[in-house]
């Protein structure tokens, strides 16, 4: 019999094998200073394009004031216990009601964390007789939720409605045999590519198939739609989303999340969400802070306007200079380049050390081998000067990638890794 840890000693995984070269710099980096458009990385000032503070609320003086007052009043422990036992308050209910109204749903329920809440919601919505059909590029939290499902599940090609329809046909035949139902899961905005889920086309398939739609709108909430209610509002199908999910970790610059749906659905979920039933309630400081942030989102449209001024300048500037940003339809701005993982390391080091630009790097296995994705998150705190400096830096690194500079720089690393 093998030692359980033998596989760990033998194979660190596609990313873990680079830990000695990457950790502390390319992965698990340490940004310092107040959350803003410019922070410090290893003692140097950098323009930061990797902070999910879309609306610039993280260090807004009104938000900081409310957060500090709530911390002073309630501390970081209150309320103690799970919501069902001793962790329920009027302010939790108030936030839920305001969130439901904001996304045009009958009811909402708070989640301690987006990731665990998504996993638990998927688990609670389906039984072993039900079938899940979900986008192959779904976020890890959706995939982990689907893994808990003891019934059948099918993936459809990313944002491919024809593929979805074929899988719905398969799911329908199977559901007729099992006596179950069908849950379709899509993202409102896919966080790596920036594409909106094709919610309008998915909803149209309800005329032909009997399914319920669950949408993860983490990146759409606060950034899309006339009021900021997300991708469903942007596409005119918010009412047709059966269960809506969003997190506080992006536009609200905080911790927590929520689900929203018809009241009867929420009433069921709040009694069956294991990650909430058996976990401590969302602390009061975060609840009060979220109420303030939501109020600013409702009453300060200039926050979203400032965000989109930067988004438009960055994305149009990249396209005009010949960069491939894919088919993003959101604030998420991917820049696709060709190169190996060692080349990507050399490129990003140059970008950070010599140009003062910090953005996230994404490589295989998240994207195909031979590709480098530089993922940029514009925010309302960025300036047009930030955009211009970044565009100039990207011109420079592309030239060095194309002329082989990074390949030569990475040769020693490749040899050391035996690649």
pLDDT tens per residue across span 226-248: 999 999 999 999 999 999 999 99
pLDDT given at position 23: 84
Q: Which of 240, 211, 228 is nearest to 153 (CA)?
A: 211
pLDDT > 70 fraction of the chain, expressed in percent and rounded: 98
Edge to edge, the sheet with strand 38-41 lists 31-32, 38-41, 44-48, 357-358
Q: pLDDT: is 407 or 105 the higher one? A: 105
CB atoms within 10 A of CB 80: 11
pLDDT of residue 416: 54
Average pLDDT, the chain: 93
What's the pLDDT at 413?
60
Query: What span, in angstroms and rounded, lies between the C-alpha atoms of 17 and 29?
Result: 17
pLDDT of res. 188: 97
Tokens in use for 109?
A: 């329920």
Closest C-alpha to 52, from 67, 31, 26: 31
How is residue 166 written in tokens?
């074929």
**What's the pLDDT score for residue 84?**
85
Q: How many Cα atoms are found within 13 Å in the side-chain-facing hemisphere of 328? A: 29
Residue 178 confidence class, pLDDT cut points 50, 70, 90: very high
Average pLDDT over residues 46-73: 96
Residue 24's contacts (CB-CB under 8 Å, 6 or more residues apart) are: 30
pLDDT of residue 257 exceeding 60, the answer is yes
pLDDT attached to residue 415: 61
Query: What pLDDT, on the 0 to 100 scale, is given for residue 218?
Result: 96
Question: What per-residue confidence (pLDDT) applies to 9?
Answer: 85
Backbone φ and ψ of 235, nearest 5°: -95, 0
Q: For residue 271, with 0-12 CB atoms within 10 Å meaning exposed, 13-18 middle and 19 or more buried, which class applies?
A: exposed
pTM above 0.85, yes or no: yes
Please choose, from the candidates 209, 211, 252, the residue with its C-alpha nearest in 3D space to the C-alpha of residue 230: 252
345 close to 413: Cβ distance less than 8 angstroms: yes
Q: What's the confidence (pLDDT) of residue 12?
A: 81
- Give me the pLDDT at residue 414, please: 58
Which of 9-13, 262-266, 370-374 shows the highest mean pLDDT?
262-266
Strands (DSSP E) found in 62-130 = 107-111
Give the pLDDT confidence of 359-380 residue by residue, as tens digits. 988 887 777 888 999 999 999 9
Helix, strand, or coil here: 364? coil
Average pLDDT score over residue span 388-416: 86
Which pLDDT band, with edges at 50, 70 and 90, does 10 fall under? confident
Question: What distance in Å separates the CA atoms of residue 294 and residue 222, rounded to the nearest whole number?
Answer: 9
* Strand ranges, E, within 63-211: 107-111, 131-135, 153-156, 182-187
pLDDT at 71 over 70: yes
Extract the tokens encoding 390.
């970044």
Query: What is the pairing mode between strands 371-376 and 182-187?
Result: unpaired
Q: DSSP per residue over 117-136, as a string?
A: HHHHHHHHH--TT-EEEEET
Summarised one tens digit per residue, pLDDT across range 275-303 is 888 889 999 999 999 999 999 999 999 99
Residue 52: which pLDDT band, with cuts at 50, 70 and 90?
A: very high
Cβ distance 304 to 228 under 8 Å?
yes
- Taking the C-alpha atoms of residue 326 and residue 195, their distance in angstroms, rounded to an integer, is 9
């Amino acid at each position: 019999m093998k030692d359980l840890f033998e596989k760990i000693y033998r194979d660190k995984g596609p990313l873990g094998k680079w830990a000695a070269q990457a950790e502390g710099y390319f992965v698990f980096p340490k940004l310092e200073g107040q959350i803003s458009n410019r922070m410090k990385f290893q003692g140097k000032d950098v323009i930061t394009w990797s902070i999910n503070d879309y609306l610039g609320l993280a260090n807004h003086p009104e938000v900081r004031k409310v957060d500090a007052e709530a911390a002073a009043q309630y501390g970081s422990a209150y309320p103690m216990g799970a919501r069902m036992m001793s962790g329920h308050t009027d302010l939790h209910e108030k936030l839920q009601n305001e969130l439901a109204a904001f996304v045009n749903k009958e009811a909402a329920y708070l989640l301690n964390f987006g990731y665990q809440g998504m996993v638990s919601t998927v688990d609670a919505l389906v039984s072993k007789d039900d079938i899940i059909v979900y986008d192959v590029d779904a976020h890890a939290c959706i995939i982990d939720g689907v893994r808990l499902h003891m019934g059948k599940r099918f993936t459809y090609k990313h944002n491919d409605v024809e593929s979805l329809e074929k899988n719905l046909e398969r799911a329908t035949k199977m559901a007729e045999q099992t006596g179950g139902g069908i849950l379709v899961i899509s993202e409102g905005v896919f966080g790596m590519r920036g594409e909106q889920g094709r919610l309008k086309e998915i909803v149209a398939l309800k005329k032909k198939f009997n399914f319920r739609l669950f949408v993860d709108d983490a990146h759409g909430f606060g950034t899309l739609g006339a009021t900021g209610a997300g991708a469903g509002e942007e596409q005119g199908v918010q009412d047709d989303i059966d269960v809506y999910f969003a997190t506080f970790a992006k536009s609200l610059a905080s911790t927590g999340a929520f689900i929203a749906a018809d009241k009867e659905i929420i009433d069921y979920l709040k009694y069956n969400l294991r990650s909430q039933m058996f976990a401590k309630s969302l602390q009061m400081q975060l609840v009060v802070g979220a109420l303030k942030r939501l109020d600013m989102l409702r009453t300060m449209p200039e926050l979203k306007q400032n965000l989109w001024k930067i988004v438009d300048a960055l994305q149009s500037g990249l396209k005009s200079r010949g960069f491939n940003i894919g088919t993003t339809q959101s604030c998420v701005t991917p820049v696709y380049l060709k190169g190996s993982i060692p080349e990507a390391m050399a490129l990003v080091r140059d970008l950070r050390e010599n140009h003062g630009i910090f953005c996230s790097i994404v490589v295989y296995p998240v994207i195909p081998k031979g590709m480098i994705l530089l993922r940029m998150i514009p925010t309302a705190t960025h300036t047009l000067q930030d955009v211009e400096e970044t565009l100039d830096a990207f011109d420079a690194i592309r030239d060095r990638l194309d002329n082989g500079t990074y390949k030569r720089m990475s040769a020693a690393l490749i040899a050391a890794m035996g690649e």
